[in-house]
Chain A
Amino acid sequence: MGDQIMPAKDYAPIDQNWLEDAGNLWTTPWVDKPSERVIVDPIILSHAASLFRKNAGYFYQNPDEAIRMVCHACELYDVTPVGHYLYADYWGQDYGAEIKIQTNSPPGITKRPIKTAEDVDNFEVLDVDELTKGPTLTTHYKALDTCKEEFPHMFAPITQLGGTMEVATNWAAIEDVFMWMITEPELVDKLCVKAGDHMVNACKATSERYGANVMITGSVIASGDLMDTEQIKRFSFQPVSRAVRKVLNSGAGPGVYYHLCGNHTDDFQMWKNAPMSPFTIVQIGYDGQNIFPTSKLVEHFGDRCTCFGTVDTKLVDRGTPAQVYEQAKEQVLAGKDSPRGFILGTACECPTNAPPVNVHALVKAAKDHGKYEKF
């Protein structure tokens, strides 16, 4: 069964009553429509494959099946009914990078197109049409089209961007970019401007195809573990903000998801003023070595946008169900009545081989302790 294709007919039908209920829970954080409790989004990607005895390599090579597996995993766990397909190393291939499919982890770039400072100067961002026909969006849209056709109520027109540093380090080796940050910071400025322009075009492509766009952006490599606050401001916050502004000014919204993965103790405050649309969500992974407290997230962002409280991904991967439940309980109690909506989830993607009982414990905490009091 490991490598055998599972076409659509091999899946049991999605329970429409569940879908309606989950859809109502999912709607609440965005439009304040009352429902019973907080929804959970464990950011299920290749973890779904493990539920079907497939591996990450299989998941990413078969985007249509990946979406089916994710949608059915959403039903199994009773979580956010949205079909996701994406991975971190997007956008390299479109510019000549080589990508390696890996059995137990997402695809990784092996050869990047930018190797020298001259390459940065000569690098040209692809236009909307070129990106639409490129390998990243061809695969991505295969997944989204499958979702739209087979699971229309679980469809969201998501564009996976990362921030400017994430795009930049998919074009040039991270060690080169970090060296240039010290020796030739203006070169990294140029690279980040180009990454921002690329992000705008990618969002326009999705918006043109589906009539709306939800961009996943933020700051992952640009976190306090790898960069200082001034570097994060210069190479991530500022160019990302400019890009998001351009996207919204071009009508290619309305969804903005700021995924601030890693440690953001020293820079999270600046993101309070990042450009926001009516459907903006902010998720912050860690405060130093600890999970970012939802109480702090709500204190700083709760009167601005929807907050995404997190449970430590390491705990979901290697902890006990009781540990996951306790942390999820603490986070959901602190966030559930956040003024502009709250979602409980994981700090980053649900690990591929996370024990299903741990994901269940996360959801159980929301069911037991996430009942709204504000409505």
Chain B
Amino acid sequence: MDIKITEELDNTLKDNGFKKEEIQELIANAEASGTKLKARDGDIAIAKGVSDNLTVYAVYSPTELLDVYAHKMNIIGLTGGELNDIDYDDASEWACAKCGEIALERNVDMTYMGVTRPGPGLVCPKCDEFYVSDGVAKTLKTAESILEEKRA
């Protein structure tokens, strides 16, 4: 898959410590495995790469990388442990590319610096895969900064 990366986004990648090759590999893995989210309305996808201390997301169209974001908090599972029925519409704008299920907006437990707390995730109800949106990643960045300051 030949993904174009604009000069502007390339500079953003460098500024945030991401390597272009790593992002391309992350997308290639998602394409090969099908482990990604697809927009329910359109052809945008989100791939993710999880390491011990960072989860990186790439948002891309069939031709172009659109955004890259990351969080340090490690998602460990659903808050409360089970996918119970809830009393509001939790269907997100995304679907799991692997199984086709609509990704649900649910709380997921995240751990960082020994602290476990909930956060708003995107959950595939079948594949047990967890993602977060770019906006939530911003919220998590603030939370991570507070944890780093207070837990230091």
Contacts and interface: CB of A to CB of B under 8 A. Distances in A.
A278 B151 contact: no
Interface string A272-309: 11011111100000000000000000000001110000
B17 interface: no
B107 A251 contact: no
B80 A303 contact: yes
A132 interface: no
Contacts of B151: 31, 33
A367 interface: no
A278 B87 contact: no
B37 to A, nearest CB: 14
A372 interface: no
Nearest to A341: B117
A279 B105 contact: no
B87 A237 contact: yes
Given A32-B114, A251-B135, A254-B140, A277 B87 contact: no
A245 interface: yes
A369 interface: no
Contact of B135 (A237, A248, A278, A340): A248
Contacts of A251: 135-139
Q: Is the interface of B mostly helix, strand, loop or mixed?
A: mixed
Contacts of A33: 150-151
B84 interface: yes
A75 B119 CA distance: 33
Given A31-B147, A278-B119, 4 more contacts: A245-B105, A254-B146, A279-B146, A340-B116
A345 to B, nearest CB: 20
Contacts of A249: 120, 133, 135-136
Closest 7 CB pairs of A and B: A251-B138, A253-B139, A278-B117, A276-B118, A249-B135, A273-B86, A278-B143
B93 to A, nearest CB: 10
B88 A237 contact: yes
Contact of A273 (B87, B89, B114, B119): B87
Nearest to B117: A278
15 contacts: A31-B146, A33-B151, A233-B87, A233-B88, A248-B139, A251-B136, A254-B140, A270-B86, A273-B88, A276-B117, A278-B117, A278-B140, A279-B143, A304-B79, A340-B116
Place the interface of chain B in its size category. 20 to 34
A211 B145 CA distance: 12
Interface string A18-32: 000000000100111
Nearest to A238: B88
Interface in B106-131: 106-107, 110, 113-120
Nearest to B147: A31
Contacts of B80: 272-273, 303-304
Nearest to B85: A273
B88 A212 contact: no
B120 A273 contact: no
Interface string A247-278: 01111111000000000000000101101111
B6 interface: no
Contacts of A275: 105, 107, 120
B95 interface: no
Given A242-B88, A304-B79, A280 B105 contact: no
A152 to B, nearest CB: 14
B56 to A, nearest CB: 17
A310 interface: no
Contact of A280 (B84, B118, B136): B118
B115 A32 contact: yes
A305 B118 contact: yes
A241 interface: yes
A363 B80 CA distance: 32
Contacts of A280: 117-118
B133 A238 contact: no
Contacts of B116: 340
Contacts of A253: 139, 142-143
A197 to B, nearest CB: 16
Nearest to B106: A273
